[in-house]
Amino acid sequence: MKTTTIAVAAVSLLQLASAQPFGALRRHAHHHEKRDVVTVVETEYAQPSEQPEVIVYVNQDGTPATTTTSYPARVPVTSATPTSTPVAAPTLSVTPISVAYSAPVVSSPVASSSTAPAQTSSSASASSSSSSEASGYGFSYSPYNSDNSCKTQAQVNTDFAKIGSGYSLVRTYGTDCNQVATVLSAAKSKGLKLFAGIFDLATLNTEIATIVSAANGDWSSFDTISIGNELVNAGTASAATVVAAISTARGLLKTAGYTGKVVTVDTLVATKANPSLCDNSDYCAVNSHPFFDGNTVAEDSGSFLTKSISELQAVLANKNQEIVITETGWPWQGETNNKAVPSTSNQAAALSSIKAAFASKPSGVILFTVFNDLWKTNTAAQFSAEQYWGFIGNSPSG
């Protein structure tokens, strides 16, 4: 596979160190890695390549600053096999289209050797607001043990039992490990709705069939189905390819009886540069992390997000389209990113600021993440913080 990479800084170039490869232990695994670096890839999804991708960083004047090489990730986990007959549908046609847009570049400090803590962060207390639908915040959850194995239904139930009130929605990112069924069951027991994610466009039909099987004809507990997460920002797919996938998915889901919301999720930077992602979604879904800005202190996280929403709204075809922050939070451990300092007190301050900013509409934000993701790998590119975003600490089930 021939690879061409372009990354353009929209802000002042920060200190750069050797960036780590954009790797994943799971095909669907959500990552923050190189979230503001654009990799433009000419690709055919049916023929994955082993070729490396060369990332070129340039400063605000367009002068190359440094480069790094990223190698394809190991992808051992496949989507769960649906328990019902898949919905008949045409295969998604993927046409590679090169895209490029401006994106800020983050610094990469030396990785920390910290290990996962046993204590709960100071922000563990849940909001005291009602947990009824439409009145609570959302949170993200990944059903994997620290050794990367899949959690059982009993383990997922144990985890959800520790989550307090004040939430109305849980977001997941993929369909493997039978997670749509297990998380849906646990969510129903707490009166939560599910924001289900499809991670890989190459297996779009299969993943939709898995979701349809888990729903089993009852879509009442599904709030949203997301087609991809940060695919444009990562260079995995062009905006046009993602838009085509949204259309295909919406048709398949409607055939299966789902009439709820269908969106794609990408970073604030990628979405501002490609507003078609929102124009073709039922609402505008963006991930935005004040921590990675580097110029925002924890207690200003809420205002950072409200300003970001205002800036995004200005480029949308429908200026009144609903915008939901589908992922945001603050790490309690890791390396400092300029003004952004990981700590339990700063995590608590950030979450308090975010909740205050969305107090009138808590459904407009999904907090990342409920438990520490010890199955992930900390990297210098992520300020050695990738495992430590859990605002309740380690999951009780392992």
Separation of alpha carbons 102 and 106, rounded Å: 13
Phi-psi domain of 379 (left: phi exceeds 0; alpha: psi -120 through 50; beta: other): beta
**DSSP letter, residue 271:** H
Calculate Rg over the CA atoms of the chain.
20
Q: Could you tell me where the DSSP H helices lie in the chain?
A: 153-162, 179-189, 204-215, 231-234, 239-255, 268-273, 276-279, 290-293, 301-313, 344-357
Please, which residues have CB within 8 angstroms of residue 218's CB and are 6 or more apart in sequence?
A: none
Would you give the distance in Å from CA 119 to the centre of its chain?
25
Would you give the distance in Å from CA 240 to the centre of its chain?
20
My answer on whether omega of the bond before 328 falls inside 30° of 0, hence cis, is: no
What's the token pair of residue 74? 């190991």
Catalytic amino acids?
327
Burial 50-70 (b: 16+ CB within 10 A, else e): eeebebbbbbeeeeeeeebeb
